[in-house]
Amino acid sequence: MAKQLFGTDGIRGIAGEAPLDPATIYSCGLALGADLRMHADDPQVVIGMDTRESGQGIAEQLAGGLAAKGVNFHFAGVVTTPGVAYLTKSVPFSAGVMISASHNPFQDNGIKIFSSTGYKLPDKEEHLIEQVIFHELGEGVEPESVELAVEPGLSDRYLEYLLSTVHTPLNGMRLVLDCGNGAAYRLAPELFRRAGAEVTAICNEPDGRNINLHCGALHLEALRERVLLEHADAGVAFDGDADRAILVSGAGKIIDGDAVLLVAARYLKQSGHLAGDTVVSTVMSNLGLERALGSMGVRMLRTQVGDKYVLEEMIRTGAVLGGEQSGHVIFHEFATTGDGLLTALRIFEIARATGKSLDELTGDLQVFPQLLVNVRVKERRDLEQMPHVQQAIRECERAMDGFGRVLVRFSGTEPLARVMVEGADLESVQHHSHRIADAIRAEIG
């Protein structure tokens, strides 16, 4: 049976509405608490959140469920998702919970759970927790909240860890940081200043409702403009929970996750640290990245979309580098999940160590035209059972004639069908992506 609450990145929805209503959140705390009590006499859980106005309430409702099962908890307050993952593994805690909806607007929120190893829960365990949640809801639970006070030393512990990984100081670098009015608003400026850079921070005044609002990793216009205005060496934008980063070069070029993987892979291979000469990415990564890596003798393995699936493949193959075009990049030597702050640190370090700009480091990446069209849908239906959609896909594949790709899938976090077409010719890519999207709209839009 497929999961009903957990998507590709935890439970997500509109705060206050199912599945993020008080009863379901409280039941999630009960379910997690019951699971932890079976494996430990005195389980401890760390809870963090981003800057959404609903975060504190959700954290307190979930803590209420944990308390009802006799589980102790520690509140890190505003911290990044990878910060929670790090704390869970290093302290260690029995589990970690992050309250965030990543890049979504403030009305949305979510619950991400980490095991004691710092890794996100596998699908099988999420399914088991779901079953307990539905059982508790069926019993008619009465949700109770527990007031939470921030333990400031927790987020500082994560910051000190990131600083400990810096081997090449960023002295002399002029950086612009777009904090997305999210979880990185305090940590990012302090981190990069202490690493030696001259920092200009923007979008670092969260008010509970401005997270990701025309800023952050999905809205790079303001960052790019500021980098050019300040004559900065580079800029970086984080999403709401700072598990991803998109960079901007001094010349204003967008450096996405694909470009980051190329820069990091080349440096690690040259230094003899790219295990198996392998990089793991997803079906969304550009064909240009695959070819650039191949020219260096590096193979690229693809997974389904979702950094948890990238990580699973990295663990299976022993790869140390993997990530997504969207900016989730995993340096497995240092982290168990994508980490935007860590990613930016590593790339800026490479720039300092090599004496090259981001434009120079990414100059050999030929990006093939790629278009992603999102189609809002009223239901999810087997794509194979929609003949007009299948016909449009087949016509696209024939036109590409083996040089290009088409990918149609449903989002794991939103009611969207995503159509991605990639090829050598932009006009053809646009034509076929919109034709497939129109066929989906006619069927289930």
Do residues 270 and 353 touch, judged by C-beta distance below 8 A?
A: no
CA distance 233 to 226: 11
The catalytic position among 54, 100, 102, 326 is 102
34: left (phi over 0), alpha (psi -120 to 50) or beta: alpha
Per-residue tokens: 136: 């508790």
From residue 169, alpha-carbon distances to 172, 179, 195 in Å are 9, 21, 6
SS3 category, 189: helix
CA distance 396 to 433: 8
102 is catalytic: yes
**Dihedral sign of CA atoms 205, 210, 213, 219 in order:** positive
SS3 category, 177: strand
The residue among 358, 369, 377, 433 whose CA lies nearest residue 403 is 369
CA angle in degrees (0–180, nearest 5) for 194-197-200: 105
The residue among 338, 269, 258 whose CA lies nearest residue 302 is 258
* Bridge partners, residue 5, by sequence: none
| Cβ-proximal residues to 316 (8 Å cutoff; 6+ apart), any chain | none
CA distance 293 to 76: 39
Task: Identify each DSSP E strand in 50-138 by its residue range.
Answer: 72-78, 95-99, 108-115
CA distance 60 to 37: 20
For residue 342, how many C-alpha atoms fall within 13 Å in the half-sphere facing its CB?
A: 28
Catalytic residues, by residue number, are 102
